[in-house]
Structure formats: structure tokens, C-alpha cells
Amino acid sequence: MGFIKRIKEEIEIIRQRDPAIHSSMEVFLYPSFKVMLHYRLAHKLYMNRHYFLARWVSQRGVRKTGIEIHPGAQIGKGFFIDHGNGVIIGETTIIGDNVTLYQGVTLGGTGKEQGKRHPTLGNNIMIGAGAKVLGSCTFGDNFKIGAVSVVLCDVPSGASVVGVPGRVVKRNHQALPQEDLDQVHLPDPIMEDISGLHHANAELTNRILDLERSLKEMKRQEEKDRTRADS
């Protein structure tokens, strides 16, 4: 892809996914735009084994944007980072097409292991602010990870993941529209469990009240029977 065509593509991606933008000129001020320009050059240098130059270009991008993308990472088309400060993407990370990350997301490793040690993401994915995806996890397509979740295991396609540690709370196996970038309205398994306990507690309370009423009625009936017998 030519340089001009890639610039136009980056502008279109940002304009589609950020409702705060009012003109194409604003795109040139966006950290996501700046860091992707640095990443594309750094990645090309990295693939040609110019490792020092690749890291030099990459670190310039970090200083300008607060976003750290290792030049060895593989990133597909339609990639967007909203705001982005604090985003970290490790060396062996593989990212598919149409992926959106919010600020503070980490796609990192779990230690000093060698080889493939960072996540592999599919297509059509949204990862909420502050989420941490660690280790050589493999993810399918069309899923969301809720804000501040910590994911350490594989995630199937069509899933929604929330919590610490992250748990799959929804599987719809439907494509995730890129306009559907809602970080808030995701299932909450803890609240669902609490709601279930409240429901069960209410049922038990009602049964106890019914039993108490039945016992009182039985006592009243016994007293009536004794009164009749005495008379």
C-alpha cells in the first residue's frame, strides 16, 4: 500500500470511530495517527533486521504519544487507539483487522519467557480502557473485553469478557459492528450473582413468612377446637 493511500486510510478510520473529531485536519494531531506512522516505519526496519533503528523510531513515537508499540508486533488493517496514553503492545503480539483499543490497554507478556509470549487477536475486537491481556493467549473474532479486565487465557469468537481474572460472560457469535464501541453496557457476572442471591433470599423469606402464617393459623384453629371441647 502506498504512503498516501495509507494516510487516507488512517484518517478514515479515526473519523469513523471518534465522535469528537470535526475535520480531517484534526487527525494529524491524534496520538493514534502519529504512533501508527512511527510503527509502520519501525516495523519495516525491524523486518529488515535493522533492530536498533527500528527501536529508535519506535521510542520517538513513544515520547510523542505515550503509546508504546514494539516494532516487532504485527498489526492488521483498521487498527485504532482511542486517546491511547499508556497503551503497550509487546513484540510478539499479533493483531487482526478492525481492532480498537482504549487508553491504558496492555497487550503484554507474563514474565521472561522466550518465543511467542504476547497475545494473538483476531478481527473485529474492542478492548476497554485499562484492560490487561497477558501471555500467549489466542483470541477469536468479534468480541469485547470490558474495561479494567485482566485476561490470561484464550477467548473464543463472539464472546464478551469482563472481570479480574477475565471471564467469558456472553457468546453471541455475531459480528461486532465497529460503531458498537460501548465499554459500559457489558454483562457483569458479579452483579448477576448478587442479583441471583437476592432473588433466592427473597424466595426463602417469603416461604418462611408463609410457614409462620400457617403455624399461626394452626394454633388459632387448635385454640378454637379446645374452646369447643371445654364448652
pLDDT at 175: 46
H or E element, residue 221: helix 189-230
Residue pLDDT, tens place only, 8-50:
777 777 777 777 777 778 888 888 888 988 999 999 999 999 9
**Looking at beta carbons, which pairs linking 138-141 to residues 24 or more positions away fall under 8 Å?**
141/96, 141/175
Could you tell me the fold of the domain covering 3-187?
UDP N-Acetylglucosamine Acyltransferase; domain 1 (2.160.10)
pLDDT at 181: 47
Question: Do 104 and 85 meet the contact criterion of CB atoms below 8 Å apart?
Answer: yes
pLDDT at 169: 61
pLDDT at 173: 47
pLDDT at 57: 95
Q: What is the pTM of this model?
A: 0.68
Residue pLDDT, tens place only, 99-132:
989 889 999 887 767 788 898 998 988 888 888 9
pLDDT beyond 50 at 179: no
Written as nine digits, the cell of 9 is: 486510510
Q: List C-alpha distances in Å: 184 to 81, 88, 133, 147, 174.
A: 18, 22, 19, 8, 19
Q: For residues 64-69, give the mean pLDDT.
A: 92
H or E element, residue 212: helix 189-230
pLDDT at 70: 95
